[in-house]
Amino acid sequence: MRSRLRSLRYLLAEARLAAAEVVWLVVAALGSRLRSVGLILLMAWYGLCELFWFSAEKPADLVDQARPTTRRGRQQWRAAGKSLRWSAGTTVAALVAAQATVVVASNASWVDEEWDHAEYATLNCDDDEIFKTRGAGRLLGGGLLPLDVDTVATVGGVTVTNDGTTAHPDPANASDVGNDGYVNPLDVNALSLIDLPLTGGSLDELLSLDLANDVGVVNQFARAQSTGYSEGASGVVNDSGVIQTENNDNGTTPTLGTLKLSTLVEQVTGEAVSDVVSGVTDLNLEIGAVAGRASMDACMAAWTGDLDPYLDREYAVAGLAAVIDAPAVAALSGTLDTALDTVEASVDGLASDAGVVSGITSGVGSLLSGVLGTLSLGSVTLVGPTVDVDLTAARNLATATVSDDDNTVELDLATGDVRIDLASLIGEAYGGQGFNGSQEYGLNGLPPNTELVVNDAVTNALVDALTEALDGWVQDVLDAVEAALYAADVNLTLQIPLIGTVLGQTLQVATVSVVVSGTLQELLDNTATVTPTVTLLSTTGLLGAAVSALVNPLIDGIVGALTGGVAPMVGGVLETALFGTGGIVPTLGTTLSDATAPVVSVLADLLVGFLGVDGLVSLRANLQNDPTAGNDPDPDPVLTYADWESGSRVVPDHRFDVAALGIVVLGATGPAGNVDLELARGSVGVNCGIGSVWDREGLCDDY
């Protein structure tokens, strides 16, 4: 009985709530000035149905039964759950709408069971013709001297707008790739047709683009669909707008082109780059393949009231390098040639080197001191040594290309060209990621609008890389010289007089002639050829008999000592002269190290001067307007890209752009005399709902 009373009381409560909802829905509909009386009656019908549909079951049970089964329906159900608070007064209309994947989007809110309301509109993200949309892709934009590149039609990229029924590409001859998408690859020849008012030349004199790549590094793509979805991309993207990260066939990362900084500096300032930075005659910025892509699903963003999950902006930078012509580097080639000439002359002079002569002659005495018996040693005569060394391998290093272990820097000694991998160098300091896994560090994965300043950490890393590369080169030279010297042919002859007392007279009773032949390494290994010859003073008569009696018993010992010891003794003396402290090879190392030290300073000063805090060039990666996707009305100024926030290039409200790389050159000279390029830009929006949902203040009226 009590159970029936509770059910009856619950049913009466439901009836009262249903009647109240019917009244509220009718008033709300009339207050919203809905155009269709049928919709008013439909709302009333849903309210009345609730009276008959609800039983003694709890409303939550009914809610569970009404959960949608389709994937999109479940997504919309969960999204609706963020903003709806289910209660005993929830209408069946809302449940039916969720099951049918049709949602009522409004700015209503629930606070203390009081109701607020605004105009209603319906959304079904599976429908067409519910949004006006825009997408754009542009590889090259910004300012170049007084020229606004954004106004140049020949490099204008591609823009697609959808008026709610039809996609319209600009330019009209862009290639249709399906699903309201279009591509318009950049014609590099167009650069030669763009005149630069300040220089009197054409754009390709300052920016040369490279098309000799297997990936579409100059593709420009846009898509705009009436479902609310749009995307824009440019750079290393395929005809579907997807960023590509393949290497070239030879394994190298693709390049976009070269910005000729020295030409630009000379045109703007009237000064050669060598006047700006001593020791440098040419400077270019080599830009790797880049890509920027933006996409947005405006319908889902409107449906959920949350833009972030449905706005995506990404970028890629394959590489960035400074290419420098530094005479100081080319001068190292001449320094090495001169130093090797000195080495050869010093080696040739070993025969007259007092230290070498003294070392060998005294060494002979040490060898024979225990085997001479009653004999004594006269003045040893040395002929030689001659050392025939071939330094070809070392001389070839005068035109070598040298680098550090990580290939951060590369120096061509033949031409003086230096390539500094800025992507790796700066990427390591800022925590950037490589392009496709082939590089440990790079300019990818950085926060929006990261300014790539050459700070102390970058400078120190550059100095370390240059020092490692040049020290490695010096060591390579020393190793080559060392190998050549150990392989050099050594020849010498020793004349060793033996003094004895014969028949009461002190005479030179014999002479030992020793011929030594072999490489320096063979001398040290005691595998060189040593040929001793003993000549007695006389072998006839009484004198001869006396000499023979005195010397012959000692000959085997003397010959054995010389044969077994003279080669390593001579080799040791020569090794000390060549490689010991103050020797020929250490002196060569000091000469080369002294020559490389200024090169490190010149290149480090150059990079700081151009890319430092107050440098002539400013680089930014991952350019974005309001990187918080529009949800922060006052973002941190450090995180914004100023050129898109105000001025002639301002990005309109509710539009979202990304560019892979921004390059500003000579910004201190003012807008009439600088370069302010944006590379690989993608753009989406403004996207506007047809009707009252996401109308965006009429910003899509001209689509």
Do 139 and 694 contact (CB within 8 A), yes or no?
no
Note the pLDDT of residue 402. 96
How does 425-434 read in b/e, with b if 16+ C-beta sit within 10 Å?
Answer: bbbbbbebbb
HEC per residue, 112-179: CCEECCCCCEEECCCCCCCEEEEEEEEEEEEEECCEEHHHCHHHCCEEEEECCCCEEEECCCCEEEEC
Q: Which residues of the chain have pLDDT under 50?
A: 1-18, 20-120, 212-216, 630-633
Residue 229 CA to residue 239 CA, distance in Å, equals 17
**Backbone torsions φ then ψ of 228, nearest 5 degrees:** 105, -5
β-pair partners for 66: none
Note the pLDDT of residue 11. 41
Would you give the DSSP letter of residue 691?
A: S
Q: Which helix (H) or strand (E) holds 103?
A: strand 103-105
Note the pLDDT of residue 347. 97
Residue 253 CA to residue 443 CA, distance in Å, equals 13
Q: What global pTM score does this model have?
A: 0.74
Note the pLDDT of residue 200. 62
- The secondary structure of 203-262 as a DSSP string is GGGTEEE---SSS-TTEEEEEE-TTSEEEEEEESB-TTSPBP-PPPTTSPPPEEEEE-HH
Place of tokens 């070239």: 248
Do 386 and 349 contact (CB within 8 A), yes or no?
no
What distance separates the 2 farthest-apart alpha carbons in the chain?
Answer: 159
